[in-house]
Amino acid sequence: MLDVQIERIAFRGYGIGYAEDKTVFVPYTIPGDKVRISKTHENSKIIFGRIESYIQKTKDHHEPSCRAFGHQKQCGACDYLDLDYSLQLSIKDGLVSEIFSPLISSDRIDHISPSPITHRYRNKTILPVSGSWKNIHFGMYKRLSHNVVTHDDCLLQPILFDQIFEEIMAFCRDARISATDSDTNNALLRSIGIRCNSDHSEFIVILVTKSGRLPFSNLLVKRLLDRFPMISGIVQNIQRDNTNVLLGKEDKLLYGKYYINTNIGNVKYRVHYRSFFQINSACARLLYDYIKEQVDPGSDVIDAYCGIGSIGLYAADKANRIIGIDEVPEAITDASFNSQLNNVANSHYSCSTAEQFFNTTYPPNRDCCVIIDPPRSGVSKELLEKINGNSARKIIYVSCNPMTLMRDIKILINNGFSIDRIKPFDMFPHTWHIETVAVLTANRMKQE
Q: Which domains does the chain have, with CATH numbers?
A: 2-61 (2.40.50.140), 91-117+280-447 (3.40.50.150), 124-263 (2.40.50.1070)
Residue 266 identity: N
pLDDT at 186: 59
pTM: 0.94
pLDDT at 447: 64
Helix (H) / strand (E) containing 385: helix 381-386
What is the Cα–Cα distance from 180 to 128, expressed in whole angstroms?
9
What is the Cα–Cα distance from 181 to 184, expressed in whole angstroms?
5
- Could you tell me if 335 and 266 are in contact, meaning their C-beta atoms sit under 8 angstroms apart? no
Instruction: Give the three-state DSSP class for 393.
Output: coil
Q: In a structure prediction context, what are the per-residue pLDDT tens digits for the chain, which is 448 residues long?
A: 999 999 999 988 999 999 999 999 999 999 999 999 999 999 999 999 999 999 999 999 999 999 999 999 999 999 999 999 999 999 999 999 999 999 999 999 999 999 999 999 999 999 999 999 999 999 999 988 889 999 999 999 999 999 999 999 999 999 999 997 555 555 799 999 999 999 999 999 999 999 999 999 999 999 999 999 999 999 999 999 988 899 999 999 999 999 999 999 999 999 999 998 999 999 999 999 999 999 999 999 999 999 999 999 999 999 999 999 999 888 899 999 999 999 999 999 999 998 888 887 665 566 899 999 998 899 999 889 888 877 889 999 999 999 999 999 999 999 999 999 999 999 999 999 999 999 999 997 766 5
Phi, psi torsion values for 369, nearest 5 degrees: -110, 130
Q: Which regions of 108-219 does DSSP assign to beta strands (E)? A: 124-130, 137-138, 140-141, 148-149, 189-196, 203-209
Selection from 216, 192, 215, 219 nearest residue 204 by Cα: 192
pLDDT at 364: 57
pLDDT at 119: 97
What is the Cα–Cα distance from 418 to 440, expressed in whole angstroms?
5
pLDDT at 162: 98
